[in-house]
Amino acid sequence: MPIVDASQVRAQLADDADRTLICDVRSTMGGADPVAEFASGHLPGAILVVLDDVLATAPAGIGGRHPLPTPTAFASALGALGVGDDDTVIAYDGRGGAIASRFVWMLRIIGRPAHLLDGGITGWDGEIETGHGRRRPSVSRTAVDWPVDAIARADEVVDHVQAGGVVIDSREAARYAGEVEPIDAVAGHVPGAVNLPFADNLDAGGRFRPPAVLAERFAEAATDVGAIVYCGSGVTACHNALAMEHAGFARPRVYVGSWSGWSADPDRPVAVGSEP
């Protein structure tokens, strides 16, 4: 159950409040101040998790803009926040899960319980706290290797396309087509990739569409247990990964380097236009 609503969050808290952590996930992207944003309003008892500090390491060229941290660094960062091995994480953000899905995906691929709050902070129908929140005592957390079958590298993306596999570009249509590129130096998409923007997983109210609707959306990928998803930097691709899991499909691999990594390699081909 990768995606939960407010009533399910309350049930989880009632069942095991001591080992259930609400995590407010923010990022410095776009010049945002995560600490100030968190202080302006968050779910009661939530702790702040910053993408750039906890869920990624420094940009690394062909490794992409948001490479995964080492397992040891990830465990250490979570331990410092008080997130223990056996804690259940319920994560949210203010962007329909665009950022928080990365955290949930990272935990789920290493076998830890984690869920995304449907609708994010606007999907919560209860009290909102302000201020800097309460700091939890640090804990010791076990480092777990990233499973190789959850992650794809650029060469594996190439091989998958050549074998007739499904590769999904999760960015908006204009970036996929190469009409605009606000971040990376090169515009376009991985040749052979289809475009299923992550934002289309959501309805007009910012909630995930029903599993049956998502299943129809990802029908082409349903027959491919090794499907690969990517985006700009390996963050919003996780939104599509969770949506596919929510629809009952096998969780796809994520090409973490994504377009930022692919386009940083001058030897990689680039496709433009609305077709793969």
Token readout for 215 is: 């299943």
Predicted pLDDT of residue 17: 87
pLDDT, tens only, 25-39: 999 887 889 999 999
Number of domains in the chain: 2
Query: In the listed set 123, 139, 172, which residue is the last one of a domain according to the structure?
Result: 123
Residue 151's SS3 state is strand
Token readout for 36 is: 């100030």
Whether residue 206 sits in one domain with residue 98:
no
Between CA 163 and CA 175 the distance in angstroms is 25
Whether residue 116 sits in one domain with residue 11:
yes
Q: Is 91 exposed, middle or buried (0-12, 13-18, 19+ CB in 10 A)?
A: buried
pLDDT, tens only, 117-164: 999 999 999 999 999 887 889 999 999 999 999 999 999 999 999 999
Question: Is 231 a residue of the active site?
Answer: yes
Residue 128 in domain: no
Buried b / exposed e over 207-241, threshold 16 CB at 10 Å, is: bbbeeeebbebbeebbebeebbbbbbbbbbbbbbb
Residue 114 in domain: yes
Query: In the listed set 123, 156, 179, which residue is the last one of a domain according to the structure?
Result: 123
Predicted pLDDT of residue 218: 95
pLDDT, tens only, 55-99: 999 999 999 999 999 999 999 999 999 999 999 999 999 999 999
Provide the 10 A C-beta neighbour count for residue 174.
14
Residue 67 in domain: yes
Q: Name the band, by pLDDT with cuts 50, 70 and 90, for residue 223.
A: confident
Whether residue 22 sits in one domain with residue 117:
yes
Per-residue pLDDT for 187 more than 90?
yes
Write down the pTM of the prediction.
Answer: 0.96
Please name which of 233, 5, 27 lies closest in space to residue 115, comparing C-alpha atoms: 5
Provide the 10 A C-beta neighbour count for residue 79.
17
Residue 83 in domain: yes
Predicted pLDDT of residue 197: 98
In contact, 172 and 197? CB cutoff 8 Å: yes
Q: Name the band, by pLDDT with cuts 50, 70 and 90, for residue 224.
A: confident
pLDDT, tens only, 247-266: 999 999 999 999 999 999 99
Whether residue 101 sits in one domain with residue 15:
yes
Residue 70 in domain: yes
In contact, 117 and 24? CB cutoff 8 Å: no
List 231, 247, 256, 264, catalytic entry: 231
Helices (H), the chain: 6-16, 34-40, 71-81, 100-109, 154-162, 173-177, 211-217, 219-222, 237-246, 258-262
Predicted pLDDT of residue 31: 82
Whether residue 176 sits in one domain with residue 116:
no
**CATH number of the CATH domain containing 78:** 3.40.250.10
Predicted pLDDT of residue 25: 98
Of 17 and 56, more confident: 56
pLDDT, tens only, 189-212: 999 999 999 999 999 999 999 999
**Parent domain of 15:** 3-123
Residue 134's SS3 state is coil
Whether residue 191 sits in one domain with residue 157:
yes
Whether residue 107 sits in one domain with residue 14:
yes
Average pLDDT of span 8-27: 93
Per-residue pLDDT for 225 more than 80?
no
